[in-house]
Chain A
């Protein structure tokens, strides 16, 4: 199986070219979990710019329901503060369900104590909102290492 990224067979900034496709090709799927429609739109566009297929969820419970419905995502951008179910609870539940997707926490606050508490729930990384192109590339680099 070959990972198809950003329209070309390249990975992150290393420009490593993968061999020709063998059997099947699939796009990387990402889930943006945020109660703010503005952030969902911007982060979705940022990820789509790098060739990812994106879906969105308004809170942690919707994200869990998506996974329970059988959908799989390679990358989850999880907001910390959300109504119904926040990012910390959602991340804990997902890890408890055995979800091994890369989960990156995003928070509007940059407080270290809060970030550490968020990381302790099972995140792979934690970034400050809003994400920019450099942050997304760094996340995709980590994701590529995890997938390959």
Chain B
């Protein structure tokens, strides 16, 4: 019986529900928790180290016993489909991490975000203009910063392709056109606070004004490097923010108040 149950549990783990990130979905109820990948990142454990997902059901009833199983992840497991109306489901159907443990991840994620931002400011990758963008974000525009940054990525990659296409051409001589692209890149980078990218654009523009093709090629390589670094770091920042929002949503599920007509 235990073997059958274990096989069923393993099958269910493969079909766990996916909680979409970055969309306005209501917070999931207690039974449906984040998927393995997001949960493992929240708990800061590597997926490969996670053992087989077999829950000691007796531990669920006694939270202090969970401390013994800290290294075991808790997966959203649905066994109710086998025993929908029996006492087994009612007794053992609720699985997953207890809510009091999830709360710890929100503060940790916030600290990780602040640490990453401080690092980016310290490295000179971002400047105070990025903070101005964050201040513009509010309840009416909750995704303003990520929207703006995505526009920046889209436009920047277009400009980088144009710049590379110009320089790769052996008969290239239109430095004025290059200057136009660089001005736009500088303006965009200044607008989101991408300080190091902007500084490389300044050096790049100086080389193009001197019609220095070799200097322009070197500047382009450096520009592509700085842009990639910035993009990776901003992706990391937004990923942590999404995990923090998700963890906060699970920690504080929406309370549905049922208005009764007799009560004022």
Residues in A lying within 8 Å of B, measured CB to CB: 35-39, 41-42, 45-46, 49, 81, 108-109, 129-130, 132-133
Contact = CB atoms under 8 A, between A and B. Distances in A.
Contacts of A42: 133, 136, 148, 191
Contacts of B132: 130, 132-133
Interface residues of B, number: 21
Contact of B187 (A49, A129, A132, A133): A129
Contact of A35 (B141, B148, B184, B186): B184
B127 to A, nearest CB: 11
B190 A129 contact: yes
Given A36-B184, A81-B183, A45 B192 contact: no
B180 A38 contact: no
A107 to B, nearest CB: 9
Nearest to B192: A38
Contacts of A108: 183, 186-187, 190
B209 interface: no
Given A36-B184, A108-B183, A132-B129, A41 B147 contact: yes
A41 B186 CA distance: 16
B95 interface: no
12 contacts: A36-B188, A38-B155, A41-B148, A41-B151, A42-B136, A42-B191, A45-B136, A81-B180, A108-B183, A108-B186, A108-B187, A130-B190
A42 B192 CA distance: 9
Given A45-B136, A108-B190, A130-B129, A37 B141 contact: no
> Which has the most chain A C-beta neighbours within 10 Å: B132, B147, B186?
B132
Interface in B146-172: 147-148, 151-152, 155
